[in-house]
Amino acid sequence: MPAINGFAPRDWNSHPPYLSSDYKSTPLRAPTKPLVILPQGLTELTGPVYGQDAVGHLDHDLTQNAAKSGKPNGERIIVAGTVTDENGRPIPNILLEVWQPNAAGRYNHTDDQHDAPLDPNFLGAGRCVTDQSGYYRFITIKPGAYPWGNHFNAWRPNHIHFSLFGPSILTRLVTQMYFPGDPLLELDPIFNGVPEAARHLLVAKLSIEISEPEWALGYEFNICLRGRTATPMEA
């Protein structure tokens, strides 16, 4: 498939299918007809564009941006990495939005009725912008696993949701980051819906370089937009 207005085509072999029998909600939202490719204009090819002024000074620190009466419960971690294009070039000014459950495995959302405590000092949402080297970094609490009702005794692995707005709507990405060594990964139909050869792209690496002594472990999660090594989509 040829490039689209200078952007490498998506490698659909590395992305999960729209319809997966093991992922029970996909029949309700998977397309039932062939996709229609729409022509791109200047708006789609050049935006949206964000800069450092798009975020507040604590947006990147989920342990502080919603604190009311103290520190949130759980293990503090650092997540960092580089966002690149299909040629490995770093991309600056990428807006990353993240959201996740708290350490007990509960989202701060009215629809989440999981029998686990809410943390009054943890919202579970934040954002940051990549610098001129394509680098991003945020601080958070390691999320807990939670039941999700897809099948009998189904539990989601520890994960963090990512939403990226790149230099063009053609580079839009919504995905999930998982943690190394999580035994729930092999049981999770969302993670296993991604083709096996691409699953490692969704698993962060423990990084001593990112870790800060006596303070927090660090995880490296690099993200590629489009191309053969693109980070898979995950909703």
Could you say which of 23, 50, 107, 219 is catalytic?
107
Give the residue from 68, 194, 103, 90 showing the smallest Cα distance to 135. Answer: 90
Q: How far apart are CA 78 and CA 202, in angstroms?
A: 17
Could you say which of 23, 50, 146, 178 is catalytic?
146
Task: Respond yes or no: is residue 18 known to be catalytic.
Answer: no
Q: Which residues lie below 8 Å from residue 198, measured CB to CB, with a gap of 6+?
A: 13, 14, 15, 232
Could you say which of 159, 178, 219, 226 is catalytic?
159
Task: Respond yes or no: is residue 200 known to be catalytic.
Answer: no
Could you say which of 106, 127, 156, 226 is catalytic?
156
Task: Respond yes or no: is residue 109 known to be catalytic.
Answer: no
Q: For the chain, how big is the Rg over CA atoms in Å?
A: 18
Q: How far apart are CA 167 and CA 50, in angstroms?
A: 9
- Annotated catalytic sites, by residue? 107, 146, 156, 159, 161
